[in-house]
Structure 1
Amino acid sequence: MAPRLSLVVPVYNVERYLRECLDSIAAQTFGDFECVMVDDGSTDDGPAIAQAYAEQDQRFRLIRQENKGLGAARNTGWRHLTPGTEYLAFVDSDDTLPPHAYQLMIGTLDDTGSDFAAGNALRLRTTGLTPSHAHRRPFRETRLRTHVRELPALVTDRTAWNKVYRRSFFDAAGLLYPEGILYEDAPVSVPHHFLAERVDVLAEPIYHWRVREDGNLSITQKKTDPRGLVDRVRSMELVREWLLARPEPVFAEHLRAYDRNCLVEEIPMFFWTVPDGDRNYWEVYQRHVSRLLHAIGPERAADLNAQLRLKYRLTLADAMHRFIAVQRLHRTVRRARQTVRRG
């Protein structure tokens, strides 16, 4: 008989954190699961650790492949799931979960019948747990059987690992993770919010998202890596392309909402790191962000605040020295205001 829950855990050069991750899965109060670990061509002892768990606990099994990246590893894990499992979740192998995470989410889904449940997250540091700023707005309060139309902040719920999907919904959606790029979560997570009939949003933290502090930074911590910027823009473009390809009129509304979120929240995240990058990073920012702005339509910036309008105008004009001067001034003013508030 198939277990009720399938977990997919990609493994790549995380031997320092892997035991803690797998221990937190083994300790779940919801024990009716399978955990498919995918060795994505690791060069450290992570696969040996994973194999030991597979030998000790029949709920764990290990699949091996050559290195293809996180998106490909998740897709491989999905292809190797036991047929007939009811629910599906993804876990990154340097993170952990509180013991009640899956019992809470699956219990909620059993009660509501929603297509998937998404929960709050905490940042995991050596000093302890702190709230995740990225999850603050959409998970401020628990809302069952809701939808992104009713809770627009859900468009910012981009991560793959804070969710439990009803597997019939995930499989029918036909969305696999993009391969060969970073920031592969959003082109799956955001469309799922638009496709779902109902979603359960849980304010209680169900995931511990690690901040690496040993010099081996995670993807999201490499703020001035040009590839990260290129792939994050590409991630937004993939969501837009998916929305543009949907013929139903409601998806035109979803596209407008998503574009506004890109202009107000996602693209401005680059603003803070551009002054810290080198000339190559500036050029990459200008080229790729300008392409995205043209696709959205520069006129969409007309109803934004003056600060955003100025920065987008300077970006499109390739006036990067002026852009950086404006951004440095804005950063200085913001820090001064934060200092005053703390005082």
Structure 2
Amino acid sequence: MKPPLISILMAVKDYERYLPDCLESILAQTCTDWELLAVNDHSTDTTPQILRAFAKRDPRIRPLDNEGSGLIPALRTAFRHSRGSFLTRMDADDLMPPQKLEKLSQKLLQAGPRHIAVGLIRYFCNQGETLGPGYLQYTNWMNEVIRQNKIYQQIYRECTIPSSAWMCRREDFIACGAFEPEVYPEDYDLCFRFYAAGLQPAPVPELVHLWRDHGRRISRTRPEYADHTFLDLKLPRFLETDYDPQRPLVLYGAGKKGKRIAAMLHQRNIAFHWLCNSPGKWGKSMHGAIWQPPEFLDQLDRPQVILSVAQRGARQSLLKMFSSKNLREGKEVFAFA
């Protein structure tokens, strides 16, 4: 079945070094029924000239100027001018494998409305540079989550729908609010809105996006992507989507992130029980709660647990312990680290 027109939404700012390779990878797509809305976000380098030159080569490339300022307004501009029934996003410093649009659109056609096609990603870096082990670990985790379709089950750990590795129908995107909310990190916010709207992931167990790591990547340099911004997004989304005020709420973990979550709950006047593995803290109070030993969990009926333990081995052990008590991640337990 032939897919409808696919609109590729892309913001670009001062990426003259990477933009030509990005555009060439789009032109090399095996699926040819697409349009690229490439929005220049007030670049001061040769980005506008590069876009115009490529547009002369291929009219499917449509350069635009940002009607506002910043990434989200640029994506908003791209969406406003798009015409496709299917939508996806692209970053101007990344690359598309040749079959990206074909694989995602075919999966979306098979899955039907109210689905999001999501594929695998891979990091790469510029010649002569070395990709850090953290990125490799993150890639392996992300791809395993997608393969096993645990996208929503593990959504509170990290953004589980990569920013440029998804495709959905226009009407579903509009129903989720499109790019109207000015909330960063914008890809994580959109992931939560897909979840809240009930759009079902349709995994594509094949590589669909190549993420370039470099020193100027905005996730490295912009304050909107600092670690605390992800945590500050998780808790409000949990309270809106999964929190049941009729059940006891448990916070497990007394580290830096646990204390930040506790402070946020206290500020919202939300009662919670605070558990930790540190005997020296038991019986002491902070942010309106008294630290309790892990055994306190057995006294609670149908608890909801926010797990804030960053160390991977300890987190996995705790998840196994919760599972033995019939408390499942994504149902009764929500891992925030």
1:33-77 deviation line (CA, Å, top 9, x unaligned):
010011111111111111111121011101112661111111111
Counterpart of 2:20 in structure 1 is: 19
> Helix, strand or coil: the match of 2:186?
coil
Say if 1:44 and 1:55 are closer, same or farther in 2 by CA, change over 3 A. same
Residue 292 (str. 1) matches residue 264 (str. 2) = yes
Contact 2:118 2:161 in 1 (8 A): no
CA distance in 1, matches of 2:237, 2:146: 26
The CA deviation at 1:89 is 0.3
**Structure 2, gaps ≥5 residues long:** 289-309, 315-337
The CA deviation at 1:12 is 0.7
Counterpart of 1:281 in structure 2 is: none
Residue 205 (str. 1) matches residue 207 (str. 2) = yes
Counterpart of 1:140 in structure 2 is: 144
Counterpart of 2:105 in structure 1 is: 106
Q: Of 149, 154, 165, which aligns to 1:162?
A: 165
> Helix, strand or coil: the match of 1:28?
coil
Describe how 1:116-195 pairs up with structure 2 within 5 A: 116-127=116-127, 132-140=136-144, 152-155=153-156, 156=158, 157-176=160-179, 178-179=181-182, 182-195=184-197
1:267-304 deviation line (CA, Å, top 9, x unaligned):
98x87xxxxxxxxxxxxx98x766435368583552x6
Contact 1:120 1:162 in 2 (8 A): yes
The CA deviation at 1:4 is 1.7
The CA deviation at 1:154 is 4.5
Contact 1:147 1:198 in 2 (8 A): no
Contact 1:173 1:192 in 2 (8 A): yes
Pick the structure with more helix per residue: 1
Over the matched positions of the two proteins, sequence identity in percent amounts to 24
Counterpart of 2:77 in structure 1 is: 76
CA distance in 2, matches of 1:142, 1:12: 30
Say if 1:133 and 1:162 are closer, same or farther in 2 by CA, change over 3 A. farther
The CA deviation at 1:137 is 3.3
The CA deviation at 1:11 is 0.9
1:211-258 deviation line (CA, Å, top 9, x unaligned):
114xxx3232249x5973454444335635xx62x7xxxx446xx9xx
Say if 1:32 and 1:139 are closer, same or farther in 2 by CA, change over 3 A. same
Pick the structure with more strand per residue: 2
Contact 1:138 1:153 in 2 (8 A): no
Contact 1:36 1:61 in 2 (8 A): yes
> Helix, strand or coil: the match of 1:97?
coil
Describe how 1:201-280 pairs up with structure 2 within 5 A: 201-213=203-215, 217-222=216-221, 228-229=226-227, 231-236=229-234, 239-240=237-238, 244=240, 251-252=242-243
Counterpart of 1:279 in structure 2 is: none
1:117-136 deviation line (CA, Å, top 9, x unaligned):
11121112125889753353
Say if 1:44 and 1:231 are closer, same or farther in 2 by CA, change over 3 A. farther
* Normalised TM-score (structure 1): 0.66
1:183-216 deviation line (CA, Å, top 9, x unaligned):
2211111220232342212232211111114xxx
The CA deviation at 1:164 is 0.6
The CA deviation at 1:3 is 5.3
The structure having more radius of gyration, on CA atoms, is 2
**Structure 1, gaps ≥5 residues long:** 272-284, 318-329, 335-343
CA distance in 2, matches of 1:263, 1:93: 40
Structure 1 range deviating more: 37-46 or 63-72: 63-72
Contact 1:38 1:77 in 2 (8 A): yes
Say if 1:138 and 1:16 are closer, same or farther in 2 by CA, change over 3 A. closer
Alpha-carbon RMSD: 4.1
> Helix, strand or coil: the match of 2:162?
coil
CA distance in 2, matches of 1:314, 1:211: 43
Say if 1:211 and 1:170 are closer, same or farther in 2 by CA, change over 3 A. same
Say if 1:170 and 1:132 are closer, same or farther in 2 by CA, change over 3 A. farther
Q: Which amino acid aligns with 1:184?
A: E
> Helix, strand or coil: the match of 1:53?
helix
